[in-house]
Amino acid sequence: MAEVGLTANLYDELPLALSTGERQRISIARALILGPKLLILDETLSALDQGEQGKLIELFSRLQRKNDLTYVFISHDLAMVRKVCTRIAVMYLGEMVEVADNHELFFDPQHPYTKALLSAAPTLEDKPFDASVYLLDGEPPSPIDIPPGCSFASRCPKVFDRCLAETPQLSEHKPGRLAACHLLDRVEANAATTCTDFGEADIYQSADVSDPLSRSGSHSRQQDRSTDVLPKGATKQRLGPERGPGIYWVR
């Protein structure tokens, strides 16, 4: 108990006499008795105030360094996930839709659902994803009767025919990054076709006009990322910042 910050005078106390934070520490101590290498923390911090959350995060860091622990941190609190986790898996209706490192997921997400989550998260900073563009409409399907195709299709602003007929597979679209979205396959196919058609033409990605970081005027939430082709000798100009906007395998 001392290892998790509890004093000896609490040994004989009943649970009703303990605070929420002390009860969480007892649960952590019980888990550590068996000497595990992996701890699953399911909403462990959600019922605590900010001060107690900070103390437990420090405790987790200390225990991790001492015992070489790995945490699987499950949470709906995106601010906490961003603070404590190194690699993130985003889930929708029980399925992983995107997996990426912390910074990449929060600043350059690939899946439309991830962008919707970030647009709804409260923040003191300017939101890289505008809620008026990315916030979702409609209701999710029943988890016990998911229709054919992508489970996110009924709410996705970029849905097209393939999404309604074929379930996307979680696959690597960039090194170390996985996403389950037909839209990414479509973008890659368009890029490959453009390379074939234009041979040695100089190809670059333009700014995403639906991205609030790079937009300069009115736009539609249905607009997709485009690929522009420049003839040889033309000048390239970067139209937007290099980074875009970005529970858990935690280490």
| 94 and 18 share one domain | no
| 242 and 216 share one domain | yes
Q: Read off the pLDDT of residues 29-42 as tens digits, 9 standing for 90 and up.
A: 999 999 999 999 99
| 80 and 95 share one domain | yes
Q: How high is the mean pLDDT of the chain?
A: 77
| 83 and 188 share one domain | yes
**Tell me, what's the pLDDT at 100?**
96
DSSP sequence for 118-162: HHHS--SSPPSS-HHHH---S-PPPTTSPPSS-TTTTT-TT--HH
**Tell me, what's the pLDDT at 190?**
67
**What is the number of other CB atoms lying within 10 angstroms of the CB of residue 129?**
24
| 140 and 235 share one domain | yes
Token duo for residue 154: 């009924």
Q: 189: pLDDT confidence band, cut at 50, 70 and 90?
A: low
Q: Which residues have a Cβ under 8 Å from the Cβ of 91 and sit 6 or more positions away?
A: 97, 247
| 12 and 123 share one domain | no
What range defines the domain where residue 225 resides?
75-250
Mean pLDDT of 188-197: 56
* Number of domains making up the chain: 2
Top pLDDT among 249 and 164 is at: 164
In 83-233, DSSP assigns E strands to: 87-92, 95-101, 171-174, 177-179, 202-205, 227-230
**Tell me, what's the pLDDT at 102?**
95
Does the pTM surpass 0.75? The reply is no
| 106 and 33 share one domain | no
| 154 and 178 share one domain | yes
Q: Read off the pLDDT of residues 87-116 as tens digits, 9 standing for 90 and up.
A: 999 999 999 999 999 999 998 999 999 999
| 50 and 1 share one domain | yes
pLDDT above 50 (res 234): no
Residue where a domain stops, chosen among 21, 54, 74: 74
**What is the number of other CB atoms lying within 10 angstroms of the CB of residue 162?**
15
Token duo for residue 95: 């399925």
